Amino acid sequence: MSKPLYTFSLLALLTLASASWSGALAHGAMQRQRNACLLKVGPDFMYFSGYQPAASRNRFCEDIPVTGDTIFVLDYAQDEMRDMSTDFRIIRDVGEREEQGRLDAVTVAYLPPKVYPAGTLNFEHVFKEPGEFVGIVTVDGPHGEHWVSRFPFTVGGRPLSARMPYFLIAAAGVLALTLFVWGKEEQTARRRI
């Protein structure tokens, strides 16, 4: 392989890998830290857990494994949130631009605003169909605070489009290994001449 072609291939590989990695990390305001799932809401955080009692005793952060009865639990990480009202909405993922002005039409489930002095809110919903959804948590405070946090998730397995970044990362790895081996073979062939 010629030096310019090798360099171009390597640059293409790095671009592909970085684009794939950024796509694989896109889960909105949801962050996984060790055994906890953190949801950033304004300057504060909530601990987030999801459960499906009939399917598994495992909790999940982002994607819900199967359709059915699902329990969402949100715990305030900061005490100041205990004086604020919180609502939780699940909508079909139609894109932020499409949902503008028709939020009620795409809403699948809604927990109206309420103050939770104990710092924990539980919400149960039965997902009847698989698909892509967005969770929206809105927190309003007594001093005019208005924080909205969004996190996308999938129910019933990730569609091919959601898994594509992982396939691209794997393809980039195979391409890198191939380029490395070809580069070594070319060096060995040059030494023999």
pLDDT per position in the chain (193 positions), as tens?
Answer: 555 555 555 555 445 545 444 443 444 555 555 557 899 999 999 999 988 988 777 778 778 889 999 999 999 999 999 999 999 999 999 888 777 778 889 999 999 999 999 999 999 999 999 999 999 999 999 999 999 999 999 998 754 455 556 566 776 777 777 777 777 777 777 777 7
Same domain, 152 and 165: no
Same domain, 79 and 99: yes
User: In total, how many domains does the chain have?
Assistant: 2
Same domain, 58 and 139: yes
Residue 79: CB atoms within 10 Å: 9
| Beta-strand pair 146-155/107-115 | unpaired
Same domain, 185 and 132: no
CATH number of the domain where residue 95 is located: 2.60.40.1220
Same domain, 41 and 5: no
Both structure tokens of 10: 């390597």
Exposure of 81 by Cβ count < 10 A (0-12 exposed, 13-18 middle, 19+ buried)? buried
Domain span at residue 94 reads: 34-158
Same domain, 114 and 41: yes
Same domain, 54 and 148: yes
Same domain, 148 and 171: no
Same domain, 57 and 145: yes
Same domain, 107 and 88: yes
The DSSP line for 12-80 is HHHHHHHHHHHHHT--TTEEEETTEEEEEETTEEEEEEEEETTTEEEEESS-BSSSEEEEEEEEESSGG
Per the CB < 8 A criterion, the answer to whether 20 and 172 are in contact is yes
Same domain, 142 and 173: no
